[in-house]
A and B are shown apart, each in its own frame.
Chain A
Amino acid sequence: MRKLFTGFAAAVSLALVSAGSVYAQCKPQAGMPDYNGVTLTVGSQVGPYIASAMKQGGDSWTKKTCGKVNIVEFPFGELYPKYVTAFAAGEDAFDVITFAPAWTPDLAPFLSDMPAKMRQTEAWMDIHPTYRDRLMMWEGKHKSQTIDGDLHTMHYRIDLFENPAEQAAFKQKYGRDLLVPRTWEEYYEVAEFFHRPEKGIYGTTEAFARGGQQFWFFFTHAASYTNHPDNPGAMFFDPETMDAQVNNPGWVRALEDYKRSLALAPPGALNFSSGDTRQQFAGGKTSMNFDWGDTGTVGTDKSQSQIAGSVGSDLTPGSFEIWNHKTKKWDRFTRVVRSPFMAFNGWQAAVPATSKNTEAAWHYVETTTNVENSGIQVITGGSGVNPYRYSHFDSAVWEKKMSPREAQEYLVAQRDSLGADNVALDMRLPFYFDYTEVLEIELTKALAGQASPQEALDSVAQQWNELTDQFGRDKQLAAYRASMGLK
């Protein structure tokens, strides 16, 4: 018995010594800081979306610096209260947080500034300016790092659009060629043409479910009619008075369009979230949709899609007419104005001021989002990472996953949307959820036919104005102008 015990103790000691020596052997790569003994706690939503990218970056960082990364995952709906509660109590629960840009105004006071040296590299200049100079900043300071580019693009089925029989039938019916739609009017014409419920094919679909990201889809419609090129930042609120614009004729037309999509969607669409819309498209159920870049990566993936090889992409449709909130009139343009909407604005990563490892944490953020790692994340299906660097638009990388034509169209749609003259930014406002919750309630009523688009949006406008007064009109106005890049 004694021998047995001695042998066991010796084995345990040996194991401990060898484990210790392995630990001691970890040497950082040349030129990298030594973070042996540092463990970073990174807050994220439950994976795979974003969390898997943070893990991939964590593995890379560990190899380079010997530091460790512990990704802690929470349901998306609980992330915001989790962060705010920890910050308000002064807890150093997180070294890095990942969050929606809409929360920036609320979180910014608790975040450390990005180190200046991070902004003096080639990799820094590779980040698209829409993110680098607008969404990563708050009140003139760089507070966060974009880890995902987010905007809506349109997707269509090449096999249907380029079928000679379909082209001929379309021309006969509408007197024009069947082309990728440039305006919402054309979009609904095409959707109606392909809407064949008896054959299991539907015109289009969007997210209509309350809590299923519905309002971002509605915002994409609204951007086309309300993001006036001459009145920057006036889409959601009047940037002079902070009066809600959500019930002006542009928004009403957007809601009418949104309802039109519902009539052309598969059964049960009222319960669709964004995930459902891309599954419907990838399953060959709809001729078109618009969505974040994920429809592109899911639709072209043979293991997830029935239409792989036939996924075309383009900018979301635009409009010849845009509402001018100053003149209270529709302005007509000689060309189609495309107003791609930066729905969600892309996930951000930041380092809370309470972190005891701010230097290591920013180094981890920099490593995770560098050209090499983000290049891997962006072409990995399920990572939830969409292009945000110029280098992400290199089609050679994408052709490993998509056909050359799919890759070409996907990247052009993403790049041109991001670089569009009239690109529309999402709202970033303190108490963002209070505003969107009101909107979701009224949108759901309008979709269910319990209120007309005008009635629903009048109610939203009234409640948004009340919320603005409640939170402080001047404070909200200053935040809104800052978020829209207005001085």
Chain B
Amino acid sequence: MQQNKWGRWGVFAFCAIWFVLTLFPLYWTLVTSFKPVLFVTSGPTYLPWIDFTPTLKPWLDAFSGERGDFVATFLNSVWISVSASLIAVILGSMAAYALVRFEFRVRVLSGVLFALAGIGTYVGLTQVKVGEVYAMATAFPVALAVSVIANRFPLPGPVMKNNDVVFWFISNRMMPPIVSAFALYMLYSKIGKEGMKMIDTYWGLTICYTAFSLPLVVWLMRDFFQSLPVEVEEAALVDDVPRFRIFLEIVVPMARPGLIAVTLITLGFVWNEFLFALILTTGDWQTLPILLSGQNSYRGDEWWAIAVAVMIAMLPMVLITIFLGRMMRSGLMLGSIR
């Protein structure tokens, strides 16, 4: 009994130490954001009003626009991350559901035909002086139509199935983003010169983030949908309920915890993304990570300003995680997967 008691205290002590270790960086950032400059650089101080006299100056500097436009970049981050996450989760969930409930057979040769038709159309059109952007816009649907039609014929060669398609999705995230970042910049730039501005626009960033979030959404939602009981859907099918209604009214509610979890992951990815935001914006639609990075100026690490920026960037994600986390846990306790 005595040994058991000591064991419990040991576990408690370990948890307490772990608690302090994990929360201390957050506490340190928070107090640093209220420190006068002299107290940041003249040795460690820990407790406001005891070690140092707190000041609101770093916060006032941030919101006065002196250290960049925090309000505008914050709002940009909110609009873009929420839009891109929702679009990616809606599209990705449908794709994932289809990959779980329907069998796909994609012939490799039709893929090759896609490439050949796409490149051929593009080259052909540019030869007859059609602009690059219009040629590309025409080549893609032509290639898609050719490959879809070709896939209906018994073409020779290997056939890819659902798992291969899922692997293809996730393989899009295997290469470092910088590989596609400059290509995307050039593409957006060319589209912009044809009159449809993409660089430094809401849609430019939202489309980019949606595209880069989709593989992860498809991959994760596929696992969630696979764990749902197919019997409920089969019962609905027997009653002649259309497939799309089954998806919206039966599958989506049952997959709510998964959808929330995936939304959170996507939101986190888009909220914190730096590279595309840096390359694809020039000012109007700049997002928070760019401004946060800028607080580390060429004059060195201005920790008081960095701490404020970090707090501003972190707070929404903490609040959303707490809120959606509650919904996710309550969702786990409901429905037919209980």
Q: Chain A residues in contact with chain B, CB under 8 A?
A: 41, 43, 45-49, 51-52, 55, 70, 72-78, 82, 85-86, 89-91, 93-94, 207, 209, 212-213, 272-276, 279-280, 282-283, 285, 294, 304-306, 382, 384
**Chain B positions within 8 Å of A304 at CB level:** 37-38
Tell me whether A45 and B297 are in contact in the complex, defined as CB-CB below 8 angstroms, given that A93-B199, A279-B37, A279-B41 are known contacts: yes
Proximity bits, B279-308, A CB within 8 Å = 1, else 0: 100111010001101111111111000000
Smallest Cβ distance from A69 to chain B, in angstroms?
A: 11
Instruction: Tell me whether A49 and B282 are in contact in the complex, defined as CB-CB below 8 angstroms, given that A75-B290, A280-B41, A283-B41 are known contacts.
Output: no
Assembled-state Cα–Cα distance A255/B41 (Å)? 27
Closest B residue to A51 using CB positions:
B68
The CA of A233 and the CA of B164, in the complex, are separated in Å by: 63
Q: Given the interface contacts A49-B297, A282-B38, A283-B42, does A94 sit within 8 Å of B186 by beta carbon?
A: no
**Count of chain A to chain B residue pairs whose CB atoms are closer than 8 Å in the complex:** 108
CA distance A274 to B299 in the complex (A): 6
Give every chain B residue within 8 A of A91 (Cβ-Cβ): 189, 192, 199, 282
Instruction: Please determine whether A41 and B283 come into contact, CB atoms closer than 8 angstroms.
Output: yes
Partner of B42, one of A78, A86, A275, A285: A285
The residues of B that contact A46 with a CB separation of less than 8 Å are: 67-68, 291, 294-295, 297
Write out the residue numbers on chain A whose beta carbons fall within 8 Å of the beta carbon of B278.
74, 78, 82
A165 to B164, CA, bound (A): 83
Please name all residues of chain B whose beta carbon is closer than 8 Å to the beta carbon of A93 when the two chains form the complex.
199-200, 282
Q: Check: B185 CB closer than 8 A to any chain A CB.
A: yes
Contact A212 B185 (CB under 8 A): no
A76 touches which of B37, B189, B297 (Cβ 8 Å): B297
A-B CB contact pairs (8 Å), 11 listed: A47-B65, A47-B67, A70-B283, A76-B297, A91-B189, A212-B300, A272-B300, A275-B299, A279-B37, A279-B40, A283-B38
Contacts of B65 in A (CB 8 A): 47, 55
B294 and A74 contacting across the interface, CB-CB below 8 Å: yes
Name the A residues within 8 Å of B37 (CB-CB): 279, 304
With a cutoff of 8 Å between Cβ atoms, the chain A residues found around residue B182 in the complex are: 85
A94-B282, A273-B300 known; 15 other A-B pairs, CB under 8 Å? A41-B282, A45-B298, A47-B68, A48-B61, A49-B297, A49-B299, A72-B283, A76-B298, A78-B290, A209-B300, A213-B299, A275-B297, A279-B37, A283-B41, A304-B38
B 254-283 to A, binary, CB cutoff 8 A, 1 in contact else 0:
000000000000000000000000110011
Which residues of chain A are within 8 angstroms of B231 by Cβ–Cβ distance? none
Q: Is there an interface contact between A73 and B302, defined as CB atoms closer than 8 Å?
A: no
Query: With the chains together, A91 CA to B193 CA distance in Å?
Result: 9
Is residue B239 within 8 Å, beta carbon to beta carbon, of the partner chain?
Answer: no
| Interchain CA distance A82-B277 in the complex, whole Å | 12
Q: Whole-angstrom distance from the CB of A49 to the nearest CB of chain B?
A: 6
**Which residues on the A side are within 8 Å of B286 (C-beta)?**
72-73
Residues of A within 8 A of B249 (CB): none
Could you say which residues of chain B place their CB within 8 Å of the CB of A49?
297-299
Q: Does chain A have a CB within 8 A of B66?
A: yes
From 63 to 116 in chain B, residues with beta carbon under 8 angstroms from any chain A beta carbon are 65-69
Tell me whether A75 and B296 are in contact in the complex, defined as CB-CB below 8 angstroms, given that A93-B199, A285-B42 are known contacts. yes
- Distance to closest chain A CB from B21 (angstroms): 22
